[in-house]
A and B are shown apart, each in its own frame.
Chain A
Amino acid sequence: MTIHSESSTGNSADNNYGASMKDGGQRRKGQDSGPSAEEYMLPSDEPVQLVDPRGEHVHNDRYPLPDGEALLAAYEKLVIGRRINEQANALVRQGRMAVYPSSHGQEACQVAAAVVLEKDDWLFPTYRDTVSVITRGVDPLEVLTLLRGDWHAGYNPQEHKTATQATPLATQLLHAVGVAHAAKLRGENTVVLAMCGDGATSEGDFHEALNFAAVFHVPVVFLIQNNEYAISVPLKNQSVAPSLAHKAIGYGMPGERVDGNDLAAMLSVLGKAADRARDGGGPALVEAHTYRMQAHTNADDPSRYRQQSDVEQWVPKDPISRMRTYLTNLNLLTDEVERSITQAAEHMAATLRDGLNEDPEVDPMDLFEFVYSEKTSQLREQAALLKEELIREGVQR
């Protein structure tokens, strides 16, 4: 069922991402009668919104509303994503996981980032983007390996075209540029979506990644989840730019701001940026305005740096409730469908609980296995030393 599709009625010629930037952004005001480079690249005045917090459609000339079936499918992933966040938090409290940086409140960004990509595209997530990686289709227990304190990354990045969840800020954005550049040199039609937070935009690697992506004109969509805090530091202490999306213009790529709690807007804006990249349009920067509803991690005390009343202002903007209202009003989300979605979310939670209630088997000898393709003589000696100790302790024979 297709509803409210405006792709044929919207004025796509004025669209930031629809506009051809294949001239490398060299157009300047006065050279022709068309819009200036700045007009092509500047983000919209307000974050793009397609479904408002009351669950009502907001018309937007430039971005079509995804059809109802697509929204319903993504809504299910949204609900599952919220359940993953809740369950993972509980597992930390139970001592089954070392740490979990929750994306509660940011699930629309998480789901959209995974959904707009094709199978052979690449996703570069950060430590807070667990829900994105699971939505991408990676085994949830393998994904959580990272945060339970076992190996740094549990899944195979090559198999899933999904990089390991990055901990150093912004460094992974450069890897995303490299993957895209390699794909371009080989003539592959790959899009890379690289995620970071607002704090990461202060890092040097953020700058270098955007500059490289623009200079080499590679298909990377940079997604900043601006959740207003870098641990305790608010955005105003991070940047005084009009918006983080405005940074794009300095690199010669379009920037866009989007309501990060609006699943429909996230899908539409990211989808367009990805399509544009796939068509050779080059990189783009998308800033999603959202909010970190919970602590940075379980080691954080948010009451030291923000008021609970500030947090509560974001409750009515919740990505799930507005999409639920919208889809219910369309009669797409019936009680029966909602029940089946709840079941799927509970099934996910049970999978996480069951999986993490078993202690992983760790072989200490693995310590030496993945440092070099072939163990150096120094590592062979150290491995032999540990092996002797393990035998003495009766851990191994």
Chain B
Amino acid sequence: MTDTAVRAAPAPAKTGPQPVTFAKALNAALADAMEADSSVVMFGEDVGPLGGVFRITDGLTARFGEERCFDTPLAEAGIMGMAVGMAMNGMRPVVEMQFDAFAYPAFEQVVSHVAKMPNRTKGRVTLPLVIRIPYAGGIGGVEHHCDSSESYYAHTPGLTVLAPATVRDAYLMLREAIRFPDPVVFLEPKKLYWSKETLDLEELRKTADDDGAPGVGRAVVARTGTDATLVAYGPSVPTALAAAAAAAEEGRSLEVIDVRSIVPFDDETVSASVRKTGRAVVIAEAPGFASVASEIVARIQERCFHSLAAPVRRVTGFDIPYPAPKLEHYFLPSVDRILDTVDELQWEDEA
């Protein structure tokens, strides 16, 4: 590979607040993490000169060299297994799995080794690595490109599972994930890659350097409300916020919790909100059966039973394989479906 084959390094970012996409925030987080720590290496399929199929690694090879950001053979177990060895030997690998369902060949490595290595060595071998997975649907992708696979990872003790929903979190949580001592499955909602926020990247860098705004284990209240709580993460957060905005127009005040950290799960923030509102709907794209959404519902029932005015409900994908692009809008949790479910929460004034 020659130097002319790789893209030129991006120009330094302008200062001050500016529109930043989710993808750009992730790209900046990777670049800043690699700048800050020479043991951080990025690899996967097409992450080199191409910059990744979603351009999340754009410019990293040009800036940091082929030893720090490189393409691998087309083999996900190989990528994952090599990352384990590199982490065992002093590096902080960040790997890209390209698409959610492409990560399945690496599943044995993730479940049998990534998750268990600290355990089977009594904590003597830690694996500070990040598995970046562009995940979930809403982009009109063909089969195997839109799976919501978070339940597989969340069900595996030893894995930390994060799903940012905002551009600010995309940056800060990826920086935190790379610094984190344990392996992190970092789920990037594909349909949010092109969402924008006006942000000051310099300020974000400073926040990250000061270990500020932690995401691991912390949920946040994305919108305050009093009548019911919508609990969502990743790609479903904007939908939940849109539903809350629509409900407000109808005079119903919905609080929205952005879970951010699926494992560890922030029971406190979720419970506090549900105890306050007395009603809850959990929203997730994944099929609902035996899902993260099911787990959240169970936890709310266990902790908030005496505060609940209605059963906790779910709005999830159907229990089917991810549908074709023309049909995916029937599958995905929609504003209407959320509002319909909220309407069913046994409101006394409407009984």
Binding site for B on A (CB under 8 A): 122, 151-153, 156-159, 163-164, 168, 171, 173-183, 185-186, 204-205, 208-209, 211-212, 215, 369-373, 376-378
Contact = CB atoms under 8 A, between A and B. Distances in A.
Given A156-B121, A205-B81, 15 more contacts: A158-B88, A158-B124, A159-B124, A163-B88, A177-B81, A178-B84, A179-B86, A205-B77, A212-B75, A369-B122, A370-B119, A372-B264, A373-B123, A376-B217, A377-B267
Contacts of B91: 182, 185
A126 to B, nearest CB: 14
A176 B121 contact: no
Contact of A208 (B77, B126, B157): B77
Given A164-B121, A208-B81, A215 B73 contact: yes
A209 B113 CA distance: 15
22 contacts: A151-B120, A153-B122, A156-B121, A168-B108, A171-B112, A171-B113, A174-B80, A174-B109, A175-B84, A178-B89, A179-B86, A179-B88, A181-B82, A181-B86, A182-B89, A205-B78, A208-B73, A212-B72, A371-B118, A371-B158, A372-B158, A377-B264
A204 to B, nearest CB: 6
A204 B80 CA distance: 13
B121 A209 contact: no
A177 B41 CA distance: 15
A180 B81 CA distance: 12
Contacts of B93: 178
B29 interface: no
A222 to B, nearest CB: 14
A153 B41 contact: no
Contacts of A122: 89
Interface of B: 41, 67, 72-73, 75, 77-78, 80-91, 93, 105, 108-109, 112-113, 116, 118-126, 157-158, 160, 181-182, 217, 263-268
B121 A157 contact: yes
B85 A178 contact: yes
A55 to B, nearest CB: 40
Nearest to B126: A373
A171 B108 contact: yes
Contacts of B157: 371
Contacts of B73: 208, 211-212, 215
Contacts, number: 139
A155 to B, nearest CB: 9
Contacts of A153: 120-122
A370 B116 CA distance: 9
A186 B90 CA distance: 9
Nearest to B43: A181
Nearest to B83: A178
**Which residue of A122, A180, A208 has the most chain B CB atoms within 10 A of its CB atom?**
A208
Contact of B89 (A168, A183, A204, A369): A183
A157 B119 CA distance: 13
Nearest to A375: B264
A181 B105 CA distance: 21
Contacts of B67: 185
Contacts of A212: 72-73, 75, 78, 82
A372 B181 CA distance: 9
Nearest to A173: B81
A177 B118 CA distance: 19
Nearest to B217: A376
A371 B263 CA distance: 12
B82 A370 contact: no
A182 B85 contact: yes
A395 B266 CA distance: 32
B123 A370 contact: yes
B160 A372 contact: yes
Contacts of A152: 116, 119-120
- The 3 nearest A-B residue pairs measured at CB: A178-B85, A174-B81, A208-B78
Contact of B88 (A178, A186, A378): A178
Contacts of B83: 178
**Which residue of A180, A182, A209, A378 has the most chain B CB atoms within 10 A of its CB atom?**
A182
B122 A370 contact: yes
B77 A185 contact: no
A173 B78 CA distance: 10
B264 A182 contact: no
Given A186-B90, A208-B78, A175 B160 contact: no
A191 B81 CA distance: 18
A209 B78 contact: yes
B88 A175 contact: yes
B85 A176 contact: yes
A204 B89 CA distance: 23
B296 to A, nearest CB: 12
Contacts of A211: 73, 75, 78
Contact of B105 (A179, A180, A204): A204
A26 to B, nearest CB: 15
B123 A180 contact: no
A177 B43 CA distance: 14
**Which residue of A163, A211, A376 has the most chain B CB atoms within 10 A of its CB atom?**
A376
B81 A369 contact: no
A27 B158 CA distance: 46
A173 B93 CA distance: 18
A181 B85 contact: yes
A370 B123 CA distance: 5
Nearest to A184: B67
Given A373-B181, A373-B182, A174 B84 contact: yes
B87 A178 contact: yes
A102 to B, nearest CB: 22
A377 B91 CA distance: 28
Contacts of A174: 77-78, 80-82, 84-85, 109
A200 to B, nearest CB: 13
B216 to A, nearest CB: 9
A378 B261 CA distance: 13
